[in-house]
Amino acid sequence: MDYKKLIACHECDLLFRKPLLRGGQTASCSRCRAGLEGTQGASVPLDRIGALTVAALITFCIAQAFPVIQLQTNGMTSEATLFGAVRSLWTGHMRIVATMVFCSAILFPLIELLALLYVLVPLRLGKVVRHFNRMLRVVQLIRPWGMIEVFMLGVVITIVKMVSMAQVIPGPGLFAFGALTLMLAFLATFDPRVLWSTRDEIKFRQPAEIRWTRVKRRCAPRAPTFFGLKPAPAAHMTARSAGLIACHTCGLVQKHIAASSEQRCSRCESVLHTRHPDSVTRTSSLVLAAALAYIPANLLPIMHASSLGHSEDDTILGGVAYFWTSGDWPLAVVVFVASVVVPMLKLAILTLQIVAARRSPDWQPLERARLHRLVECVGRWSMLDIFVVALTVALVHFGSFAVVTAGPGALAFGAVVILTMLASHQFDPRLIWDNVRCGPARGSRR
Ligand SMILES: [Zn+2]
Ligand SMILES: [Zn+2]
């Protein structure tokens, strides 16, 4: 049985033959409509990805070394680098928030770029580097937690916020961050999972399993009689029902060894699970913790501003009201959506998923799958307010004239963002489809 010719949808576990794709083609699951992992960006030459990674690393260093914004008021000048913003939060006894900003805007993007380069260059030269598995697993693990593009939006909002108070001068770091955001947006279209196939090709001299054609099309499942099992005619089959298991890291489909207490992937050595253990319970606990943290996040001030003996507290909704009343209603809408609507939406959708998984597992599976993807996609944008706080604290420190410090609301809000992201990662979307009867193959190739 050649399981290497199979691919399992990571969201609904349905088995497919590996699609034959060329050029800019991608493949998506015909049942849950999720893009099949390991097919996005597979046609992009490794040279281009490597060159872009080097360019992004250089731009990253420039962006970190130079000031992002300079502020001038009453003959005093202040400037903020990203690292300076982290240091301001750290010295202001907001060490958890400082760590969150440091990891999401400095450490994780840097590790991702370095690790990607470390595996890409030898692959291009036809070699598989030592610790390839570990490095590629690291890239895949930390990718969702790097948030340079959210930081860039935070810079824009901080500039607009400061313009009415002082003269704002964009620094070289701002332009570097703009360029870096564009480069990372392009790199994000490249799914590092395709490198597992390239590694196999080099290591075992295997021909590429996937060939790339030009037209985008949806992959239709076929009755998987080709691996020796005999399901009902024209029925679909999931990996679990076929006694197989798909690795969530590298996508390799392999035989499930039920007797083993901890089965590891034969290719990347990740621990394999037919379903994430205690997925619903863990998601419930994280959602409950996030919901509790959401209350102080909105009630407590995220910033304290003191100027010439006068002090003022700023809550999230206070910031939205400030933009609205000062005429910057587009920014008021952006901040309101990112800081109020998105966290509430995430909590509501995750609660719905938990209730549905417990009470009615087969209820509206396609809509619930789409909601799951929405939560995964928008979750990171709530970090916006944390970045605005970090930059404002770093910029406004003019001695007794004006000082801004972070408030306890920032810590609670950061906790909401992290907890909801962890909750959505803990929820196993395959649970949505486990009780849905697979329909007949419809032949939706196009
Ligand atoms: Zn699917
Ligand atoms: Zn694997």
The confidence score (pLDDT) of residue 38 equals 67
Distance of CA 109 to the CA centre of its chain: 11
Q: Are residues 201 and 347 in the same domain?
A: no
Would residue 148 count as lying in a domain?
yes
In a domain, 424, yes or no: yes
Tokens of 85: 């913003």
228 and 304 co-located in one domain: no
Range of the domain at 194: 3-255
For position 194, what pLDDT does the model report? 84
Q: Is the dihedral of CA 234, 235, 238, 241 positive or negative?
A: negative
* 170 and 64 fall within a common domain: yes
Residue 264 lies in a domain: no
Residue-level pLDDT at 39: 65
Q: Are residues 84 and 162 in the same domain?
A: yes
- Is 90 exceeded by the pLDDT of residue 75? no
Nearest-ligand number for the alpha carbon of 13: 1
* Per-residue pLDDT band at 382 (split at 50, 70, 90): confident
Within-domain flag for 400? yes
The predicted structure's pLDDT at residue 229: 37
Going from the Cα of 10 to the center of ligand 1, the distance in angstroms, rounded, reads: 7
Q: Which of 255, 271, 287 is at the close of a domain?
A: 255
233 pLDDT band (50/70/90 cuts)? very low
User: Is 283 found in the same domain as 251?
Assistant: no
The number of the ligand nearest the C-alpha atom of 247 reads: 2
Based on the number of CB atoms within 10 Å of its own CB, is 425 exposed (0-12), middle (13-18) or buried (19 or more)?
middle
Average pLDDT over residues 399-409: 82
Work out the pLDDT band at 184, boundaries 50, 70, 90. Answer: very high
Q: 109-123, 283-297, 304-318, 415-429 — which is least confidently predicted? A: 304-318
Q: How far apart are CA 111 and CA 146, in angstroms?
A: 10
What distance in angstroms lies between residue 378's CA and the mean position of ligand 1's atoms? 20
Taking alpha carbons only, the member of 53, 305, 377 closest to residue 195 is 53
Q: Which ligand is nearest to the CA of 238?
A: 1
What is the 266 CA–ligand 2 centroid distance (Å)? 7
3-state DSSP of the chain: CCHHHEEECCCCCEEEECCCCCCCCCCEECCCCCECCCCCCCCCCHHHHHHHHHHHHHHHHHHHHCCCEEEEECCEEEEECHHHHHHHHHHCCCHHHHHHHHHHHHHHHHHHHHHHHHHHHHHHCCCCCCCHHHHHHHHHHHHHHCCHHHHHHHHHHHHHHHHCCCEEEECHHHHHHHHHHHHHHHHHCCCCCHHHHHHHHHHHCCCCCCCCCCCCCCECCCCCHHHCCCCCCCECCECCCCCEEECCCCCCEEECCCCCCCCECCCCCCECCCCCCCHHHHHHHHHHHHHHHHHHHHHCCCEEEEECCEEEEECHHHHHHHHHHCCCHHHHHHHHHHHHHHHHHHHHHHHHHHHHHHHCCCCCHHHHHHHHHHHHHHHHHHHHHHHHHHHHHHHCECCCCCEEEECHHHHHHHHHHHHHHHHHHHCCCHHHHCCCCCCECCCCCC
Which residues on adjacent β-strands are paired with residue 408? Answer: none
- Residue 216: pLDDT over 70: no
Q: pLDDT tens across 303-360, in order?
A: 888 877 778 888 888 888 888 888 888 888 988 998 899 899 999 999 999 999 998 8
Q: How far is the CA of 300 from the centre of ligand 2 (A)?
A: 44
d(CA 314, CA 301): 5
93-117 residue pLDDT tens: 889 999 999 999 999 999 999 999 9
- Distance from the alpha carbon of residue 163 to the mean position of ligand 2, in angstroms: 50
Q: Are 72 and 213 found together in one domain? A: yes
Same domain, 56 and 201: yes
Pair (248, 293) in one structural domain: no
Tokens of 87: 């240091």
| Residue 213 scores a pLDDT above 70 | no
126 vs 296, more confident: 296
What tens digit of pLDDT does each residue of 16-67 get? 887 776 666 778 888 888 888 766 666 678 888 999 999 999 999 999 999 9
Can you give the pLDDT at residue 257?
87
Percent of the chain with pLDDT over 90: 41
State the pLDDT at residue 363: 87
Distance 167 CA to ligand 2 centre (A): 53
Q: Which ligand is the nearest neighbour of the Cα of 34? A: 1
Statement to judge: residues 250 and 283 lie in one domain: no
Q: What is the mean pLDDT of residues 201-219?
A: 51
**Quick one: CA torsion of 386, 392, 395, 398, rounded to 10 degrees?**
-130
Q: How far is the CA of 434 from the centre of ligand 1 (A)?
A: 11
276 Cα to the center of ligand 2, angstroms: 15
Per-chain mean pLDDT for the chain: 84
pLDDT at 167 over 90: no
Nearest to 74 by CA among 441, 399, 417: 399
**Residue 206 pLDDT level (bands cut at 50, 70, 90):** low
Q: pLDDT at position 439, please? A: 55
For 58-84, what is the mean pLDDT? 89
Q: Rounded to whole angstroms, how far apart are CA atoms 411 and 94?
A: 7
If asked whether residues 49 and 82 sit together in one domain, one would say: yes
The Å distance, Cα 331 to ligand 1 centre, comes to: 37
Residue 234 has pLDDT above 60, yes or no: no
| Number of domains present in the structure of the chain | 2
Judgement on whether residues 207 and 308 belong to the same structural domain of the protein = no
Residues 294 and 225 in one domain: no
